[in-house]
Amino acid sequence: MEILGLESLTYGVVDMDTCSRFNEDFGLQLVETSAACTTFRTEENSTIILRKENDPTLPPAVTSGSQLRQLVWSVPSADVLEQIAAELSKDRDVTRDDNGILWTLDPMGYGLGFCVTQMQAVVDEPVQLNTLGNPVRVDTRFQFSEKAKILHLGHVVIHAPNLQETYEFYTKRLGFVLTDSFATGQGYFLRSPGSHDHHNIFLFHVEEDLAGIDHASYALSSFDDVAMAGTHLEKKGWQSFTGPGRHQIGSNYFWYFDSPCGGKVEYYADMDYLTDDWVPREWEFAPEVVAAWDTGPGFAQ
């Protein structure tokens, strides 16, 4: 069951104008806007959709206030879509909308969609970094971006009160692959079968009252772009949560910001690229395990 990665996220939000301004400042491209719905895109054409929190087309929210409501995963063909429909129809309602998206609910209560992908993979230029004794950029200046581009919707991190049930649903019913586990069964980094990202979803156990999205994460070309994009967002007055820094788990550079749409958003670059040869590891929770370095207040705040 090949699932390529995240195609779309939909948030139900309290303040559409503020959330739209945030997404534009963040660097997402505005596609279209109406009274009911505003859509943004990445370079790869994954979409981030804002609807009002009380929009009747959305499934019930897992918490009050602005929150993630729906996730859509991309598949390569109609055949794969039919395989997923057959599997999930065994124990839950599955519907299709006018856009051909297959819909159900996941065990946490989020709208869970699948569609034949509309994305166009971005093939990024290698970043030319000189190291001592190994120059790869000779008689050539570094190629700075004029503006950091949001290339790829990489992953979501969700607080899951029913972690084990959700973990088994994604792995046993949809074939998601365990990349690493965290804090002895308290968290699972999973990648969709068909993705090489270190993770496309990280599920972390919390008590019921802390359910909700932790963050959505977007790949940029390089650390320079992460730093440029984050600096731009700070100058626009948005609040950094932590970063820039570099994770131990997944190896990626990061910079997190609080999002008015719900939870946080993360810029990242240079994440581990995994194949079937990867052997899952177990990580303990400690600030120095989460980040190799972090110039912000850190994750223990």
Under the criterion CB under 5 A, does residue 179 sit at the interface with Fe ion? no
Q: Which residue of the chain is nearest Fe ion when measured via CB?
A: 217
Total site size for Fe ion, rule CB under 5 A: 2
C-beta of 13: minimal distance to Fe ion in Å?
Answer: 21
Q: Using CB under 5 A, which of 8, 67, 104, 217 touches Fe ion?
A: 217
The residue among 115 and 249 lying less far from Fe ion, judged by its C-beta, is 249
C-beta of 40: minimal distance to Fe ion in Å?
Answer: 19
C-beta of 32: minimal distance to Fe ion in Å?
Answer: 28
CA distance 45 to 129: 28
Taking CB under 5 A as the rule, which mask of x and - marks residues 257-296 in contact with Fe ion? ---------x------------------------------
The residue among 13 and 291 lying less far from Fe ion, judged by its C-beta, is 291
CA distance 297 to 239: 12
Provide the β-strand partners of residue 105. Answer: 111
What strand order describes the sheet that includes 291-294? Answer: 281-283, 177-182, 187-191, 201-205, 152-160, 212-219, 264-269, 253-258, 240-247, 291-294
CA distance 98 to 79: 18
CA distance 264 to 125: 28
Candidate ranges 4-12, 76-84, 104-112, 210-218; the one touching Fe ion (CB under 5 A): 210-218
The residue among 23 and 217 lying less far from Fe ion, judged by its C-beta, is 217
CA distance 270 to 242: 18
The residue among 80 and 220 lying less far from Fe ion, judged by its C-beta, is 220
The residue among 53 and 266 lying less far from Fe ion, judged by its C-beta, is 266
C-beta of 300: minimal distance to Fe ion in Å?
Answer: 16
**74: left (phi > 0), else alpha (psi -120 to 50), else beta?**
beta
Under the criterion CB under 5 A, does residue 221 sit at the interface with Fe ion? no
Under the criterion CB under 5 A, does residue 214 sit at the interface with Fe ion? no
C-beta of 135: minimal distance to Fe ion in Å?
Answer: 33
CA distance 229 to 146: 11
The residue among 70 and 252 lying less far from Fe ion, judged by its C-beta, is 252
The residue among 192 and 217 lying less far from Fe ion, judged by its C-beta, is 217
Sign of the torsion angle spanned by Cα atoms 142, 145, 148, 154: negative
The one-character DSSP state at 173 is I
In this structure, the dihedral spanned by the alpha carbons of residues 174, 151, 263 and 56, taken in order and rounded to 10 degrees, is -70
Residues forming contacts to Fe ion in the complex (CB under 5 A) are 217, 266
